[in-house]
Amino acid sequence: MLQDRVGLPKDQIQSHVDALLAAYAGASVIFSPIAGVLADKTSTRQGPFLLGLVALLLATVLLFVGSNIPTLVVARILQGCSAAVVWTIGLALCIETVGKENLGKTIGSIFSFISVGNLLAPLLGGVLYNKTGYPGVFGIGFGILAIDFFMRLLVIEKKVARRYHLVNSEGNANDETPAPEDNEAANGEEEPLLGNKAESNEFQISADQPAIARKIQILPCLKNPRLVAALLVAFVQAALLGSFDATIPTVGQELFHFDSLKAGILFLPLGAFDFVAGPLFGWAVDRYGTKLAAVGGYTFLVPCLVLLRLPHAGGTPQVILYAALLGLCGVGLAAIGAPSIVEAGEIVEKYYEANPEFFGRDGPPYSQLYGMTSMVFSSGLAVGPELAGELKQVIGYGNMNIVLAVICGLTAVLSFFFIGGKPKVLQNR
């Protein structure tokens, strides 16, 4: 678009691509926590969700008709805002719908579908652009948005359904019979952690909180090192994804003289193994906890990244070697997909159970949490390509992966000490 429609010289395209990527990432980083706060303060999340899709529709229209840089920048900013809203509210709806006991396999499946989308969209876009031009590319976009918007209209949130159930079951909205959840609370069945004094004290929030903490209730939770560690783990995960996106096409071109389509095919093993293994590792997180998947996944990625220095210029055997190593990296990415988000959700849930009076009837501030997660994840997606690209130019692709392997090793150590709580071997010390 920059070359064909805007008419930029070739020597200016890369810098403008970087600027448009930065506009998207920056908008997502800034708007994610705002989206979380707004979503938690509204009576239903459907309204903000639909507004996010409207922003994406406007962005798509601007990209379709835009013929100058300012228009494209505005479109990318709207895309970033939309991503912040949809991702933040979508995760909050997930945990409220499936429950924390099924969150691991749900998040693992979500990241698997994200991998497939990231894999297929550029290939599909390239084929459509070659065959049909802009109308084909954006026609698919508009069609998917229309389906998405209609599906969001059909969504009924649990808390909305509960209100309708209360009115219908009572037959009289003025009846003072307590709601089912109130009966459970009265019988002490909704506060399983309150009886655990040690854990309750660990997650207790002091009464003298400033006004901003009472409005943005996720802030007091950030004193917990486990939550901070979960956010850091999410940042590293996103940075790794961004580094693969930035370097695989150029490596395919430099080593194997691939064109853009063949270079895109190199993402197949990475995405395929992530897609297949993601739900399995998510199930493992639900079954065995977050520590095993986080430590094991990042540890597994260390030798996989180191071995990426082996492929060199050559024919089919070298292509197969590179694809196989990317497949192994896909397994590692699948393992680290769920732990950080599941860990963060569990910690906030424990804060809510220990401090129900602080959070009130709205429940845990999941939207604020996932707004912060989206902000951190978007930051990683922005930093990863820049870091990988600079390292690749300065020290070479093999040494770049050594640096990423060291980062994964340090993240595995961080996960061992913080993710999933204190290690059992250290609990008695």
What's the average model confidence in pLDDT over 281-305?
A: 94
Nearest to 245 by CA among 389, 79, 341, 84: 389
Best-predicted range by mean pLDDT (7-11, 124-128, 172-176, 416-420):
416-420
Answer whether residue 162 shows pLDDT above 90. no
- At 116, is the pLDDT very low, low, confident or very high (cuts 50, 70, 90)? confident
Average pLDDT over residues 75-87: 90
* Nearest residue to 17 via CA among 5, 29, 3: 3
In whole angstroms, what is the distance from residue 230 CA to residue 412 CA? Answer: 12
Exposure on the CB side of residue 260, measured as CA atoms within 13 A: 7
Q: What is the DSSP string of 87-139?
A: HHHHHHHHHHHH-GGGHHHHHHHHHHHHHHHHHHHHHHHHHHHHHH-HHHHHH
In one letter, which amino acid is 279?
Answer: P
What are the tens digits of pLDDT across the range 338-365?
Answer: 999 999 989 999 999 999 989 887 788 8
Its pTM stands at 0.80
- Delineate the domains of the chain, giving CATH numbers in brackets: 1-98+133-173 (no CATH), 216-422 (1.20.1250.20)
For the chain, what is the mean pLDDT? 84
pLDDT in tens, 304-333: 999 999 998 888 999 999 999 999 999 999
Alpha helices in 225-338 (DSSP H): 225-256, 260-265, 267-288, 290-307, 316-335
Q: Using CA atoms, how far apart are residues 355 and 36, in angstroms rounded to an integer?
A: 20
Per-residue CA distances from 278 to 103, 202, 242 (Å)? 13, 32, 18
Q: Which residue has the higher pLDDT, 297 or 209?
A: 297
Query: Are 34 and 367 contacting, i.e. CB atoms less than 8 angstroms apart?
Result: no
What is the Cα 286 distance to its own chain's centre? 18
254 vs 307, residue with greater confidence? 307
Query: Which pLDDT belongs to residue 70?
Result: 92
The number of residues making up the chain comes to: 429
Asked whether residue 120 carries a pLDDT value surpassing 80, the answer given is no
pLDDT band at 284 (very low <50, low <70, confident <90, very high): very high
Confidence at residue 173, expressed as pLDDT on a 0 to 100 scale: 47
CA atoms 239, 240, 241, 247: torsion sign? positive
pLDDT at residue 164, as a whole number: 67
Spatial CA neighbour of 33 closest among 283, 373, 330: 373
Q: How far apart are CA 17 and CA 2, in angstroms?
A: 8
Here the tokens at position 76 are: 């990318």
Torsion of the alpha carbons at 16, 20, 21 and 22, rounded to the nearest 10: 100
pLDDT, position 3:
80
Residue 169: pLDDT band (50, 70, 90) is: low
